[in-house]
Structure 1
Amino acid sequence: MPTNRITMRRIRETLRLHLQAGLSYNEIGRALKISKSVAGKYVSLARAAGVDWDAAQSLTDEELEARLYRPALPRSSHQLAPDFALVHQELKRPGVTVQLLWEEYARSNAQAYKYTSFSVKYRQFAQSLKRSMRQVHVAGEKLFVDYAGQTVPLIDAVTGEITAAQIFVATLGASNYTYACATERQTTADWIGAQVRALEFFGGVPRLIVPDQTRALIKYPDRYDPEPNRSYDEFATHYGCALLAARPAHPRDKPKVEGSVLLVERWILARLRNRRFFSLGELNRAIAELLADLNQRPFKKLPGCRASAFKELDAPALKPLPARRYELSRWKSAKVNIDYHVEFDGHYYSVPHALVGTVVELRVTDALVECFAAHQRVACHALSHKRGAHSTTAEHMPASHRAHLEWTPGKLIAWGARIGVSTAAVVTWQLEHRPHPEQGYRACLGLKRLARQYSPERLEAACTRALAIRSPTYRSVASILKNGLDRQPSLFTPATAPPLPAHENVRGPDYYH
């Protein structure tokens, strides 16, 4: 309690500057040569005592001191103490501070703790909680994700083969609301697919997602500046959230999910230990049933349960899900060939012919192949699994099929004719049996390479044999040369069959007269 007039003068001046002049604590501190925390303390005492500037002017120093510094009263009942479990939960709401909660607690409580005692007792309460719960997480801020160490056996009903299903766990920081599901492995597709389902389970998107620095998600792991791979970064952009990968070998960076993994192992996987599962869907249905029970289990030291805390804290603070679900994509670089097509999994997709010779980025989903040049989409095709075939858009083709003057159909045929009649015929077949002549360029360029590799004479012989077997494709010609079949006798040379041995069972031609 203050005992001198200098302190009371500072209190009055603080109240005047803040309540009447509207100065901040920092400005008051600089003006009165006191710290901003002391200025805030004086204002908080006045608020708790219901003293405004007008009231402060009408009170003497002794009266003001008595109002601000009420004498401590004997506390015979614990009912006067605040509910620190509720305080701990309220601190998770955005913008809520310990000082605000103390002011609300002390405003109508004549026997309330002073602010310092309130703060000290709350810290003692927070330290009594589990280690993983000491951090105060703001509602809707962080989602922690990880895989459990335990796996669940999956039995193939046909072969009897047993594989280990991986268990993914996601936990919201403020409410501890938990999601779990099983995936086949821990690939990039498994990690991202599980997080998509987790966000749909929560019905919203947090501001941050905290994963491990697994190679499936993080392209360049680093203690200070990890870089996610392109698919994971695209996932975060689609949902409008940020990624904050935990430091390697630092489980304290994500204690929430570490604790939830243990709960999932104890209350879900342990209960399923004697059951046999024959499909991932069957296992996930069983996990979903037990997950509802896990989220309804009461907290031991906090009010409510995970489900109720989620409804009160995280659910209102989450951002809404986008209208469209994220579709996992793969990225690959590809060089545009002379026929203005790029290759993916053995199929060829056209791009604008002006991009010939450049490198483009392919974004591949389950349904589409998109081509990007300089971060702009230049082509889009339906994904095809037909190897060796072409997907060509007419707008991508050069005018009159003559944009690439160096390799016109006429020049290719003339080159084949210089090798021989059969080579010219095979070249002509490549150009005539395609929807567009340029689609035969690739095969013709392959024939030119074979001429350099094996010699023009052997190429002509191989083309002759390919025409004889009615398979004038590049693949057939290459196979003939590789196996040396071009050096074998001609297919049309009649072979003299040896006479049949004399035998009583052989009827001979006279039998049929």
Structure 2
Amino acid sequence: MTKYRDILRLSSMGLSQRSIASSCQCSRNTISEVLDRANENGLAWPLPEDVTDADLQYLLFPEKAQASSRKIPDCEYIHRELAKSGVTLSLLWSEYCEMCRLSREIPLKYTQYCNYYRKYASTTKATMHIQRKPGEQMEVDWAGQTATVVDAEIGELLPVYIFVAALSCSQFAYVEDFLSQNQESWITAHIHAFAHFGGVTKILVPDNLKTGVEKSSWYSPVINKTYQEMAEHYGTTVIPARVRKPKDKPGVEGTVGIISTWILAALRQQTFFTLTELNEAIADKLTVFNKRPFQKKPGSRLSAFLDEEKHALLPLPSSAYECAIWKVATVQFNYHIAVDKMHYSVPYEYIKHKVDVRVTRGVIEVFYNHHRICSHPKLYGRPGQYHTLADHMPDKHKQYVQWNAERFIKWAEQVGPSTATVIRAILTGHRVEQQGYKACMGVLKLADLYSLVRVEAACAKALSYTPSPGFKHISTILKSGQDMVILEQAAAAETDSDTRPPSLHGFTRGASYYGRN
């Protein structure tokens, strides 16, 4: 806008039009025209106090205040449409001209159309400085730029991802590198950042990545279960930034750009073979970075953290959070779930139910409807291993699992010594011990059809003519009643021993042997 007030003031001081034009940064023709209009309207310096710049323009050039007959574009609509993919100002202007033609209105030229929008956009893009409270927020993000380490075995370059955390108040930063951006790396980075700061902020402000936010929403975002569990352990809360709104976390966004220059770019000439070496180099550069003085205010990030923010952080818990990964599994018909190619048993009542699995470094925990139903030590080594608890089995399966040589021998000893000898012979008669389990079970189950005494007698009979009898031998003896002969002989021997006096000789034939009465 032309500085009409300054033109009249400088003219009253006796300056030439050339000097006035140089001071007000406008042409001499404009100066001459303003002074002529002022003389015509009787305006002279000093002006009345109630005359504003807008009033002065209306008095000098009333024609400029007339409304334009051209159609003014809807700048809010333009701003909203430009956010869509492929939409440009040129396209919107052509559509605007077509609308004006249909409504018989005069459109603006393209340059004026763009000027209207630029004025609107400059007001909507206005920024506001928000004074953050000490200990209130920690902003976290992955840096867009990556570093590299060399695989010592094959010489291949491996990408390394950089985690950055910054406190909103002091801008004190923490940086660490990882080989992956997975859930475990994300949680571990937070744990190390809390330890570095020596405390916890009230709020965590992450991006909307899947390791932090499962479902983004301005009103009710769904936080990742592991991330939420970690936040509860440290007594903080997660409030993610809006999607595509980097100004919601300006601290870490600015720090990411500075880190890329002062740390990653500074280490570009060095070669690292392990993450430990790279982290040590980053830690040294980070210390220097946090101690660098601010450009526009006194102190540094470190001094601001120590003076203003450290005392406001929440204390760390007594123990660090153990990183846990949550998964969903379905209980199969063998009442096991598969986790990382290992199999863990679940109570058989939950067959074909979906369960939540919490995986830590040493323990596998299984939950159903937020109630823990079992836990197992985590298996390592070759895939396909099983960890089964007997309490999770149906009763019939428990009996099968309890089959072993020791149990069969103890069971046989309760019947008699001959039965125990037969069971041992059956077990040792097979190359694999488990092959004899069914035969042992069959021999011992014969007592249900006959009796313990008869089974013992049948085993004794079988051992009298073979050192390794089987189930068929014992079953045949019992079916044919051959065991009864042994029992009758034993009973007769006991009767004779009770009625006759003991003989003095080892073998004595009786009167019945010679056919005499």
- Normalization by structure 2: what TM-score? 0.51
The one-letter code sitting in structure 1 at the alignment partner of 2:177 is A
Residue in 1 that maps onto 2:188: 193
Contact 2:206-2:239 within 8 A present in 1 as well: yes
Residues 1:204 and 2:199 aligned together: yes
Shift, 1:430, TM fit: 10
1:398 Cα deviation from its structure 2 partner: 4.1
The one-letter code sitting in structure 1 at the alignment partner of 2:155 is G
Deviation of residue 331 (structure 1)?
1.9
- 2:261 equivalent among 246, 266, 274: 266
- The offset of 1:373, in angstroms, is 1.7
Residue 133 of structure 1, CA deviation: 9.3
Structure 1: 5+ residue stretches without partners: 1-130, 410-427, 434-513
Aligned to 1:279: 274
Q: Which residue of 2 aligns with 1:510?
A: none
Q: Matches of 1:143 and 1:430 in 2, distance apart?
A: 65
The amino acid of 2:250's aligned partner reads P
Aligned residues: 283
| Residue of structure 1 equivalent to 2:312 | 317
Shift of residue 204, structure 1, vs aligned partner: 0.8
Q: Distance in 2 between matches of 1:431 and 1:383?
A: 34
Q: Which moved more, 1:324-333 or 1:161-170?
A: 324-333
Query: Contact 2:183–2:325 (CA<8 Å) still a contact in 1?
Result: no
- For 1:413, the equivalent position in structure 2 comes to none
Report the Cα distance in structure 2 between the residues aligned to 1:401 and 1:295, rounded to whole angstroms: 64
What is the Cα deviation at residue 200 of structure 1? 0.9
Distance in structure 2 (CA, Å) of the matches to 1:259 and 1:133: 16
Change (3 A) 1:388 1:169: closer
Cα RMSD over matched residues? 2.9
The structure 2 residue matched to 1:392, chosen from 388, 400, 412, is 388
Aligned-pair CA distance for 1:401 = 4.0
Higher relative contact order (CA 8 A, sep 6+): 1
SS in 1 for 2:266: coil
Q: Is 1:132–1:256's contact at 8 Å kept on the other side of the alignment?
A: no
> Structure 1's 347 and 187: CA in aligned 2 closer, same or farther, altered over 3 A?
closer
Which residue type is aligned with residue 314 of structure 2? Answer: K
The match for 2:303 is 308
CA drift of 1:351 comes to 2.4
- 1:330 and 1:201 map into 2 onto residues whose CA distance is 23
Structure 2 residue runs of 5 or longer lacking an equivalent are 1-125, 404-432, 439-517
Deviates more, 1:220-229 or 1:134-143: 220-229
Point out the structure with max Rg over C-alpha.
Answer: 2
Equivalent position of 2:343 in the other structure: 348
Which SS does the other structure have where 2:284 is aligned? helix
1:145 offset after TM fit, Å?
A: 0.8
Change (3 A) 1:252 1:395: same
Give the TM-score of the pair, scaled to structure 1. Answer: 0.51
Output aligned runs, 1:69-148, within 5 Å: 134-148=129-143
The 3 A distance-change label for structure 1 pair 389 and 268 is closer
Determine the structure 1 residue equivalent to 2:144: 149
Shift of 1:429: 6.7
User: In the alignment, residue 223 of structure 2 is paired with which amino acid?
Assistant: P
Partner of 1:17: none
**Does 1:358 pair with 2:318?**
no
Q: Say whether residues 1:242 and 2:224 are aligned partners.
A: no
Following the alignment from structure 1 to structure 2, what is the Cα–Cα distance between the partners of residues 328 and 369?
12
- The 1:429–1:145 alpha-carbon spacing in structure 2 relative to 1, beyond 3 Å, is same
Alignment partners' CA distance in 2, 1:309 and 1:171: 13
* In structure 1, distance between residues paired with 2:338 and 2:436: 19
Provide closer, same or farther for how the CA distance between residues 184 and 360 of structure 1 changes in structure 2, counting only shifts above 3 A: same
Identity across the alignment (%): 40
Q: Write the deviation string for residues 75-122 of structure 1: whole angstroms up to 9, x where unpaired.
A: xxxxxxxxxxxxxxxxxxxxxxxxxxxxxxxxxxxxxxxxxxxxxxxx
- Alpha-carbon deviation of 1:137? 0.6
- Tell me by how many angstroms 1:142 deviates: 0.2
Q: 1:431 to 1:314 in 2, by over 3 A?
A: farther
